Structure 1
């Protein structure tokens, strides 16, 4: 089948869902075309056709069996083009975090099927719009995200890894201030550890302790970042799915995360990770101290996470999407 995916860019974390699914659908024999503005960034290698246009309008959207707009400004050009059946792919329920809330909400009220990424995400859309959706979860490429030697084996100092998203770039829900405060308290309890940071927007914060900035611009570099750490920490208040947690698990790294909603389909507190309430700095600090000082528990969580992540492949996600589109073709 022919699938067109109009996007504004392919550079931020969530849009990795699109490039992974697009590549898998191409590998399954479908014709996939990504349409985006002429100066938009494409941060990952795509096997799908890339078409650049001056701007996304109903006239610049190509014809296809299905159009899969994923962010609210791309929905209306796709819908108005009438060049294929629209399936509204939601990477996040925008009315809870964008300024144009009414416009974002309207993008869910058109007469088009909706795809969500998790049970929590599905419920959020259902509560906000009264409309149900089909869950197509994210995945992990276990040929890239896999275990390798921990840095602490040579230094004797356990490593905490963290992805820093900048509030100045609009990422107010990532909980970075909570993380820094937890670190400030942590060094009073467990001073012997290292902190490694991937700063996606180039953010440079006044932190309460020294940290190493890791430049990771590819999946392979991100995999090394996760795998070399002993603990990966995430502090988001909400996420539709949260791929980094699954990627860290696939790298056999113990995960500490806030209960962000979207990761509930694969996170099991005390079994394959430690979960703490969002913004609860006391519990976050305690969880980090616990895993820094209890190597046996840390290693068991990491091994359980590694095992649990294996079935969550992008091919499985693509199979579910393909099955949905075939069903829609016959209705």
Structure 2
């Protein structure tokens, strides 16, 4: 058998791939979406994929919620169609095996060829795998220190001697700064589903309108975004804000701002990005930055903070306007500039569409599959 034949056979060999997720998320989540995208696309290539979720654990300090969430998880897991049918915000290939365990434990994972963990708490299991469970791989989607009592625990997991795939060059550099050898890190950037994220047809005037992803967590910078848009409204009283998010309406939003609780990507695209002339991202830190990429793909001009992940594909003055994290005045000025200058906005939109067009999930899946091989 020639060397070329051996390589071809290896590249087409069926793999048993296990993904580990910390919970079963009933609300849209960018990090979970990446895992499910790969699960679907690797399954379509003929690989055998299992996604293992840990049952929600609220804790006995909130006994009613604790018991309710446990009961709901068990109900979802045992109903016909299982977890795949109850993941309402994203379709899952029926061939993907979706499972739930009471507590994540390396001994409970199935036999396979590779185990992929993403959130830092799940990645702690990777050094504990038995050989028959497969090779470990850490999919790094962010610097996950928000709400963590001791961030050094996160750093210790990131420094572990486990091969890593980072979703952005920003995260790869962060890993290198933590002492991870460059040769242990692959960069596989995320794709976009262009059947969902695209401009409306026809794409008419969008008026004085801004879309924002709003959340209660400090990492999204929602309070700064609100302050910036209050200043924009002082100059443009007819400003319309199309805010959206996975949570109930955040209390920080003033009454004059619209809010849609978006339960899937299609809602986000149709109700926010496509209806807005500008998308404003105020995030403090992003591992990648899906809303910015999605807005570009929907023909919306982008103003964003220099938050790390988006800087992999955002270039100030070329396909977006970038401002410093926490700079409400800078955000307001950039939004006003684009709302008042249609030609500048048009140039950014055209360049943004070209940028987004280069994001392809099939290409990402090819690169991710290559990273799974030893």
Question: What do residues 287-318 of structure 1 show as CA deviations (whole Å, max 9, x unaligned)?
Answer: 01111111222122112211221121111111
Instruction: Determine the structure 2 residue equivalent to 1:161.
Output: 211
> What is the TM-score of this pair, normalised by structure 2?
0.80
Please state how far the C-alpha of 1:260 moved relative to its aligned partner.
0.9
**One of 146, 150, 156 as aligned partner of 1:106:** 156
**One of 92, 100, 107 as aligned partner of 2:142:** 92
Please state how far the C-alpha of 1:188 moved relative to its aligned partner.
1.5
Task: Report whether the alignment pairs 1:252 with 2:299.
Answer: yes
Within 2, Cα distance between the matches of 1:87 and 1:235? 31
SS of alignment partner, residue 159 of structure 2? coil
**Superposition pairs for residues 122-161 of structure 1, below 5 Å?**
122-132=172-182, 133-148=185-200, 153=205, 157-161=207-211
Question: What do residues 230-270 of structure 1 show as CA deviations (whole Å, max 9, x unaligned)?
Answer: 11110011111111111111111111101111111211111
Instruction: Determine the structure 2 residue equivalent to 1:282.
Output: 329
Q: Superposition RMSD on alpha carbons, in Å?
A: 2.1
SS of alignment partner, residue 59 of structure 1? helix
Residues 193 and 305 of structure 1, relative CA distance in 2, 3 Å threshold: same
Instruction: Determine the structure 2 residue equivalent to 1:172.
Output: 218
Task: Report whether the alignment pairs 1:212 with 2:258.
Answer: yes
Q: Is the 8 A contact 2:20 2:116 kept in 1?
A: yes
Instruction: Determine the structure 1 residue equivalent to 2:229.
Output: 183
Structure 2, unmatched stretches of 5+, are: 1-14, 56-72, 77-82
Number of residue equivalences: 321
Within 2, Cα distance between the matches of 1:18 and 1:277? 30
Within 1, Cα distance between the matches of 2:281 and 2:323? 10
Task: Report whether the alignment pairs 1:234 with 2:251.
Answer: no
Within 1, Cα distance between the matches of 2:343 and 2:114? 49
**One of 18, 30, 41 as aligned partner of 1:4:** 18
Instruction: Determine the structure 2 residue equivalent to 1:314.
Output: 361
> What is the TM-score of this pair, normalised by structure 1?
0.90
Structure 1, unmatched stretches of 5+, are: none
Please state how far the C-alpha of 1:204 moved relative to its aligned partner.
2.9
Q: Is the 8 A contact 1:151 1:159 kept in 2?
A: no
Please state how far the C-alpha of 1:95 moved relative to its aligned partner.
4.5
**One of 106, 117, 122 as aligned partner of 1:69:** 117
Residues 227 and 119 of structure 1, relative CA distance in 2, 3 Å threshold: same
Within 2, Cα distance between the matches of 1:175 and 1:95? 16
Q: Is the 8 A contact 1:108 1:129 kept in 2?
A: no
Please state how far the C-alpha of 1:209 moved relative to its aligned partner.
6.0
Q: Is the 8 A contact 1:94 1:105 kept in 2?
A: no
**One of 343, 366, 369 as aligned partner of 1:296:** 343
SS of alignment partner, residue 141 of structure 1? coil
Instruction: Determine the structure 2 residue equivalent to 1:198.
Output: 244
Residues 280 and 192 of structure 1, relative CA distance in 2, 3 Å threshold: same
Question: What do residues 77-133 of structure 1 show as CA deviations (whole Å, max 9, x unaligned)?
Answer: 343132210011111122476223233222223321011111111111111233331
SS of alignment partner, residue 144 of structure 1? coil
